[in-house]
Amino acid sequence: MGRYDSIIVGAGHNGLVCGAYLARNDQKVLILEAADEAGGLAASREFHPGYTTSIAQSVSHFSEQVSRDLNLAAYGYDRGTTALPLIGLGASGKHVVVEAKSVQGVGDDDAMEYTGYTRQLEKFADALQPFWLKTIPRIGPGGLRDVLTFAHLGLSLRKLGKADMREFMRVASLPARDLVEENFSSELLKATLSWDMLTGAKMAPRSPNSSVLLMLYRLAEQSRGTHTIPSGGVPGLIAAIQKSAQASGVEVRCSTAVEKITVAGDENGLQVTGVTTTAGEQISADRVISATDPTRTFIDMIGVEYLDIGFTNRIRRLRCDGFVGKLHLALSKLPGFTGLDTPNARMIIAPNVDAIEFAYDDAKYGRCSDDPVMEIVLPSLIDASLAPDGGHVLSANVMYVPRALKGGWTAAAREQILNRCIEVISAYAPDIRDCMVHAEFLTPEDLENEYRITGGHWHHTEIAMDQMLMMRPTYEAAQYRTPIPGLYLCGAGCHPGGDITGAAGHNAAHEILR
Amino acid sequence: MVTTDRFAGERLKLSPFYPRQEELNIREAWSSWNGYKFAEYYYDVEYEYFCVRNLCGTYDICPMQKYEIKGPDAEAMLNRMVTRDVGKIGMHRVAYCMWCTDEGRMIDDGTVFRLGPDRFMLTCGSPSIAWLEKSSFGFDDVVVTDITDDMAALSLQGPTSYAVLKKLGLDGIETAKPFDIRVFPYHGSQLMVSRTGFTGDLGYELWVEHDLGLTMWDELYKAGADYGIQPYGEAATNMARLEAAFIMPDMEFNEALKTVHFQHDQTPFELSLGWLVDFRKPHFSGRAALLEEKRRGPTYTLTKLDIEGNRPAEGAHIYSNKRCNREIGYVTSAMWSPVAKANIALAMIRTEHLDGPLWAEIYYEKELRHHSRVVPCEKQSKPFWAPARARATPPPEY
């Protein structure tokens, strides 16, 4: 076995990407995963015999550079050639269909406006693109490299030209609603376009903060914000990363939960020495890289006695409550969606922006809305192996579902939200109940417990102005290094954040190898 | 009866000793400390000062904040918070400690009493419950309780203090070394005596439950009648502590959590208290920053000065030459010390100038006329007042 150069806690996609890069640079790497397979929220989940899906239900801006560097195509990653159209489901089949370059189902004014809108956002996204795969330097005295990164960012924005730069400064912190309101008139279109600015975050259409920046992040890469379902579903991508990592020599050990990251201390200070598993096994390494969320990493696995008090309290205050529930339906046959030939799309159920806002209002106060809004895909339309013959899988992100429901997530509360979701869907797919074989609903609390993510938050901690860039997850730990020598972070809690991009894993590996 | 005091919640709290203090405070010289009505002095500042130096005096430390820190994780929690090694504090011993921000800036100082394997008492000048709560987050088994109002505590300081305690009948107090704690049965409860204080002289601090406060006061004053016992207030304390070169908040240091301006607070090294920072401990809050501060050397160093003449150098600037064109520091506290017969001061001086000449520009007033005088200063390495009796065990009885 021998001593490891690096142990990575968690075989989510960022852990795997980080490990792959390190192994390619001759490190001996062990990745420990508590679940019985790799992938984290992207791992495959057989929620009913023969029916498989994953919490992450589609892929959009996975880093092309990571894909190339790790040669993922050779290991079976096929992004999928056709992007899923984004469809805003309308009453009685009057849908809005959004594609990369055009939109249908709206008036000519909106259709025209859409071209300019996407062009502008893409221009902004291009200006930011180089920084998702970079360590954002800390503020204060830094080396030449840090100065260059800041200079590059400044130059990149300046290169937009005066008018666009001004416009960028104006819209960067706009609420999603303001941005769509000033561009479009169709209520359904406005709601549909708001979706990707909000989902995964504790952000409603009227929340000023980071919605537009989140959208620009998601518009990165050539995918331009469109989503695909890779062959094998999202777990197909995980399998490719894992194979690539293993081919470089990474050892991935599943069903091995880390209890503690071990720290040794003497008069020279602290040093991470390895990990202890819940089974009591001690494994030593020169460094430990945590792909799990910052709260679990620092508070649970390291322990506050090794941390400064101010730092601990910044970690404690990270906003980690997830607001996305997950609905999985096992279907005996393909349900009919009114007005659609085939529901091979990302379908948004949110008739207008306020419908999203009101669902948020309920969740904000610990209630679950009776009118949830959601994003639906049927991955089995792309990969038939995800369901038995003729059958299908419906997978939906449901907002806003509070982690801490008033009165708790009782059986009755779960039953109610599940039924409400199905009722809402049946307004657009009237035969949905006839097709249903099995249904499951996962609250953020379920995601927290089953996937070991604080708050069940997609991004491990909220992506917001105060938790972005050189403040993510918090200063003193925002450059993948931490105050404890030998401990690094590589998960969604680091810059640039969550979604399946591989960027945090890539950046952490580069910081470690620097 | 319905209370008609509209300001009931705003009024100063009264110490358990207040009935006696009220009678003795013939000058009505009250100020406040942590919400308690508190004597600035009782009769005359110099008189009270001389009582403390020549006989003994009592100083009310009820307003001082007291926290009980209890549980299996108490030691670990405190050890991570303060810069000294709490593990080295023996049973029934007290240690002077300080705690810092992550940036190594001093939040406050105080004393840690080890009352059991898993039980400590922390005392400090300012309310600290918020920081203690932050400091205990993440420890499974530690409970922090503010016990300030549950206790009555009185400091008994001065050369005859030991004799008074003997007279009070505290058998065994003679074996108590500085920073030792002794516990005596007392009216069905306990009297805790620690050989601690804030005067640099022989002295003790006495701790009982709140309701026994007056009883203790009366018995102590009865025992002390022939030993010159006298209450002293804040002003005399400030004189005594300066002679002992002890630091005072808002004089020598600004509490870091209350400091607005960047680096207008202080590090332990700036306060010449580097000896309280134990780098043999693998970790404590602020360690990395303090290690860097130690390596770099403090910008300022708190220095004891003996200043020519007899004009107290209060608020004086310190210069590296007599022409006063290069300012290198400022005086934090100053007085004419009767016991040292010297014009003494504590001053923050830029470390790189410590070895050069030091001049103080002193401003003073004489019958409404303002004058200034530039005088040379000499650095002192030892406290201005540190009598052997303060360390002797058993102490002399007088």
CATH of the domain at B332: 2.40.30.110
Based on the fold, state whether residues B365 and B263 are members of the same structural domain.
Answer: no
> A83 to chain B, minimum CA–CA distance in Å?
46
Q: Would you call A140 an interface residue with chain B, using a CB distance cutoff of 8 Å?
A: no
CB contact under 8 A, B131 and A303: no
Q: Which of A305, A311, A312 sits opposite B76 (nearest CB)?
A: A305
Q: Would you call A407 an interface residue with chain B, using a CB distance cutoff of 8 Å?
A: no
Per-residue confidence at B344, pLDDT binned at 50, 70, 90? very high
CB contact under 8 A, A306 and B279: no
CA gyration radius for chain B?
22
CATH class of A4-45+59-79+231-319+458-513: alpha beta
Best residue in A273, A307, A308 for a mutation probing chain B (most B CBs within 10 Å): A308
CB contact under 8 A, A313 and B291: no
Shortest CA distance from A305: residue in chain B: B80
Which residues does chain B have within 8 Å of residue A476's beta carbon, measured at their own beta carbons? 102
Per-residue confidence at B96, pLDDT binned at 50, 70, 90? very high
Enumerate chain B positions whose Cβ falls within 8 A of a Cβ in A: 76-77, 79-81, 101-103, 131, 134-135, 137-139, 279-280, 282-283, 285-288, 291
Domain boundary among B296, B331, B348: B296
Residue B216 has pLDDT above 70, yes or no: yes
User: Which residue is listed with tokens 């991009």?
Assistant: A501
For residue B267, is it within any domain?
yes
Based on the fold, state whether residues B292 and B303 are members of the same structural domain.
Answer: no
Non-local CB neighbours of A91 within 8 Å, separated by 6+ positions:
A351, A427
CB contact under 8 A, B137 and A312: yes
Which residues does chain A have within 8 Å of residue B257's beta carbon, measured at their own beta carbons? none
Q: Which of B77, B81, B288 sits opposite A483 (nearest CB)?
A: B288
- Spatial strand order of the sheet with B106-116 comes to B93-100, B106-116, B119-124, B65-70, B143-146
Please give the pLDDT value at position B56.
98
CB contact under 8 A, A312 and B139: no
pLDDT, tens only, A412-462 = 999 999 999 999 999 999 999 999 999 999 999 999 999 999 999 999 999
For residue B388, is it within any domain?
no
The pLDDT of B204-210, averaged and rounded, is 98
Which residues does chain A have within 8 Å of residue B137's beta carbon, measured at their own beta carbons? 304, 312-313, 316
Which residues does chain A have within 8 Å of residue B139's beta carbon, measured at their own beta carbons? 304-305
Which residues does chain A have within 8 Å of residue B77's beta carbon, measured at their own beta carbons? 305
pLDDT, tens only, A99-135 = 988 999 999 999 999 999 999 999 999 999 989 999 9
Please give the pLDDT value at position A1.
53
CB contact under 8 A, A316 and B137: yes
CB contact under 8 A, A303 and B286: no
Residue B385 has pLDDT above 80, yes or no: yes
Range of the domain at B362: 299-383
Q: How far is CA B163 from CA A82, A90, A168, B387, in A?
A: 95, 93, 79, 17
CB contact under 8 A, B135 and A309: yes
Closest by CA position to A463, among listed A150, A219, A175, A200: A200
Directed axis angle between helix B234-243 and helix B45-54, to 10°? Answer: 50
Closest by CA position to A295, among listed A61, A72, A452, A127: A452
Domain boundary among B265, B296, B327: B296
Q: Domain count for chain B, please give it.
A: 2
Distance from first CA to last CA of chain A, Å, rounded? Answer: 26
> A268 to chain B, minimum CA–CA distance in Å?
7
> B71 to chain A, minimum CA–CA distance in Å?
15
pLDDT, tens only, A206-228 = 999 999 999 999 999 999 999 99
CB contact under 8 A, B135 and A306: no
Q: Are A504 and A16 in contact (CB under 8 A)?
A: no
Which residues does chain A have within 8 Å of residue B135's beta carbon, measured at their own beta carbons? 309
Q: Are A242 and A38 in contact (CB under 8 A)?
A: yes
Q: CATH number of the domain that B191 lies in?
A: 3.30.1360.120
Cis peptide before A473 (omega within 30 of 0): yes
CB contact under 8 A, A265 and B283: yes
> B263 to chain A, minimum CA–CA distance in Å?
15
Q: Would you call A308 an interface residue with chain B, using a CB distance cutoff of 8 Å?
A: yes
Based on the fold, state whether residues B311 and B284 are members of the same structural domain.
Answer: no
Work out whether the CA dihedral A264, A270, A275, A278 comes out positive or negative: positive
Please give the pLDDT value at position A283.
98
Based on the fold, state whether residues B255 and B164 are members of the same structural domain.
Answer: yes
Run of H or E residues at B239: helix B234-243
Residue A234 has pLDDT above 80, yes or no: yes
Q: Would you call A265 an interface residue with chain B, using a CB distance cutoff of 8 Å?
A: yes
> B220 to chain A, minimum CA–CA distance in Å?
42
pLDDT, tens only, B60-91 = 999 999 999 999 999 999 999 999 999 999 99
Q: Would you call A303 an interface residue with chain B, using a CB distance cutoff of 8 Å?
A: yes
The pLDDT of A286-303, averaged and rounded, is 98
Q: Would you call A316 an interface residue with chain B, using a CB distance cutoff of 8 Å?
A: yes
Please give the pLDDT value at position B89.
98
Based on the fold, state whether residues B273 and B309 are members of the same structural domain.
Answer: no
Based on the fold, state whether residues B287 and B308 are members of the same structural domain.
Answer: no
Q: Would you call A270 an interface residue with chain B, using a CB distance cutoff of 8 Å?
A: yes
CB contact under 8 A, B139 and A476: no
The pLDDT of A20-26, averaged and rounded, is 98
Distance CA B224, CA A390 (A): 99
For residue B204, is it within any domain?
yes
Which residues does chain A have within 8 Å of residue B81's beta carbon, measured at their own beta carbons? 309
> A278 to chain B, minimum CA–CA distance in Å?
19
For residue B101, is it within any domain?
yes
For residue B398, is it within any domain?
no
The pLDDT of A334-349, averaged and rounded, is 96
Q: Please, what is the average pLDDT of chain B? A: 97
Q: Would you call A485 an interface residue with chain B, using a CB distance cutoff of 8 Å?
A: no
For residue B355, is it within any domain?
yes
pLDDT, tens only, B235-282 = 999 999 999 999 999 999 999 999 999 889 999 999 999 999 999 999
Q: Are B193 and B170 in contact (CB under 8 A)?
A: yes
Per-residue confidence at B343, pLDDT binned at 50, 70, 90? very high
> B78 to chain A, minimum CA–CA distance in Å?
10
> How many helices (H) and strands (E) would you count in chain B?
8, 19
Domain boundary among B246, B273, B296: B296
Please give the pLDDT value at position A153.
87
Based on the fold, state whether residues B217 and B325 are members of the same structural domain.
Answer: no
Q: Are B126 and B132 in contact (CB under 8 A)?
A: no
CB contact under 8 A, B134 and A270: no
Please give the pLDDT value at position A232.
87
CB contact under 8 A, B282 and A269: yes
Best residue in B73, B102, B278 for a mutation probing chain A (most A CBs within 10 Å): B102
Ranking A156-160, B226-230, B355-359 by mean pLDDT, the lowest is A156-160
Based on the fold, state whether residues B107 and B225 are members of the same structural domain.
Answer: yes
Run of H or E residues at B246: none
CB contact under 8 A, A308 and B280: no
Non-local CB neighbours of B261 within 8 Å, separated by 6+ positions:
none
Q: Would you call A317 an interface residue with chain B, using a CB distance cutoff of 8 Å?
A: no
Count contacts between A and B (CB, < 8 Å).
Answer: 57
Per-residue confidence at B2, pLDDT binned at 50, 70, 90? low
CB contact under 8 A, B286 and A305: no
| Neighbouring C-beta atoms of residue A316, cutoff 10 Å | 14
Which residues does chain B have within 8 Å of residue A313's beta carbon, measured at their own beta carbons? 134, 137
CB contact under 8 A, A303 and B101: no
Based on the fold, state whether residues B198 and B329 are members of the same structural domain.
Answer: no
Distance CA A59, CA B31 (A): 68
Residue A81 has pLDDT above 80, yes or no: no
pLDDT, tens only, B129-178 = 999 999 999 999 999 999 999 999 999 999 999 999 999 999 999 999 99
Amino acid at A136: I
Best residue in B83, B108, B283 for a mutation probing chain A (most A CBs within 10 Å): B283
Based on the fold, state whether residues B209 and B332 are members of the same structural domain.
Answer: no
Percent of chain A with pLDDT over 70: 100
Q: Are B137 and A313 in contact (CB under 8 A)?
A: yes
Shortest CA distance from B100: residue in chain A: A309
Ranking A135-149, A177-191, A337-351 by mean pLDDT, the lowest is A135-149
Q: Which two tokens stand for residue A65?
A: 């550079």
Q: Which of B102, B134, B282 sits opposite A265 (nearest CB)?
A: B282
> B106 to chain A, minimum CA–CA distance in Å?
13
Please give the pLDDT value at position B1.
58
Q: Please, what is the average pLDDT of chain A? A: 95
Based on the fold, state whether residues B47 and B170 are members of the same structural domain.
Answer: yes
Q: What is the pTM of this model?
A: 0.95
Q: Are A310 and B81 in contact (CB under 8 A)?
A: no
For residue B392, is it within any domain?
no
pLDDT, tens only, A131-171 = 999 999 887 777 788 888 888 888 998 999 999 999 999 99
For residue B1, is it within any domain?
no
